[in-house]
Amino acid sequence: MRFLLSSIFLLLVSCAPYPKKQGFSANALSKETLVNPFFSDATKDYVYKSKITIYDKTLGGILIIKKTAEEQHRIVFTTEMGNTIFDFTLTGEQFKVNRILADLDRKIIVKTLQRDFTALIKENLMATKGFTNGTTTIRQAKLLGKFHYYTFENGKLVQITRTGNTREKVVFRFSGINDNIAQEIQIDHQNIRLQIGLKSF
């Protein structure tokens, strides 16, 4: 009987939403728009020194993100010598590959980068659930068919977590936030060897 109760408890915990596993409690939330303020100013060029590790390849260079129209961004990653590694255009959830290095031109890599950059720059999403733990709040939203959890500390977006089967799949961490610019961004995949490190300059 004790084994059965323990098994049921573990099953319930494993099926709990991601925020509850982190010790957050659900709060009353009518549907609301949550705002990701990063990369939202069309008058700015967002320039980052970048390091991207994909499987056994490590690429360093400059990442430039520019808002070119409402719901549209251009994302260009070049070497420090100016050679293009990839060049994407994101319009809403529509993704266009303008150019990509042949070694990276694989469906799984392109789709993963599409998901990552869509989450990184999507400005407005409909939050469907809310969770809280003191001054920290989490909002749940769906993007490209996947649940994303947006963590705010004292009103600032500090983390985005994409989950699958209630487990972390990708974690975006924002630090050194000033005037809606994150000085450092770290994107870590939990199930594949892909990390993206960005440092503003």
Question: For the segment 15-61, what is each residue's pLDDT rounded down to a tens digit?
Answer: 456 666 666 667 666 678 899 999 999 999 999 999 999 888 899 99
The predicted model gives 2-21 an average pLDDT of 48
Is pLDDT of 13 > 60? no
Residue 64: the pLDDT is 97
Task: Work out the angle at residue 104's Cα, subtended by the Cα atoms of residues 98 and 108, and round it to the nearest 5 degrees.
Answer: 95
Residue 19: the pLDDT is 64
Q: d(Cα 101, Cα 57) in Å, to the nearest integer?
A: 12
Residue 133: the pLDDT is 84
Name the residue among 135, 179, 171, 139 with its Cα closest to residue 153: 135
The predicted model gives 85-106 an average pLDDT of 94
Listed in sequence order, the residues at least 6 apart from 67 whose beta carbon sits closer than 8 Å to its beta carbon are 39, 40, 41, 42, 44, 73, 121
Q: d(Cα 75, Cα 165) in Å, to the nearest integer?
A: 30
Q: How confident is the model at residue 110 (pLDDT cuts 50, 70, 90)?
A: very high
Q: In this structure, what are the phi and psi dihedrals at residue 130, rounded to the nearest 5 degrees? A: -130, 150
Q: What is the pTM of this model?
A: 0.86
Q: d(Cα 71, Cα 98) in Å, to the nearest integer?
A: 18
Q: How confident is the model at residue 7 (pLDDT cuts 50, 70, 90)?
A: very low
CA 111 to each of CA 28, 56, 68, 144: distance values in angstroms, whole numbers, following the listed order: 35, 18, 22, 11
Q: What is the pLDDT of residues 114-167, one digit of tens each?
A: 999 999 999 999 998 888 887 788 999 999 989 999 999 988 999 999 988 778
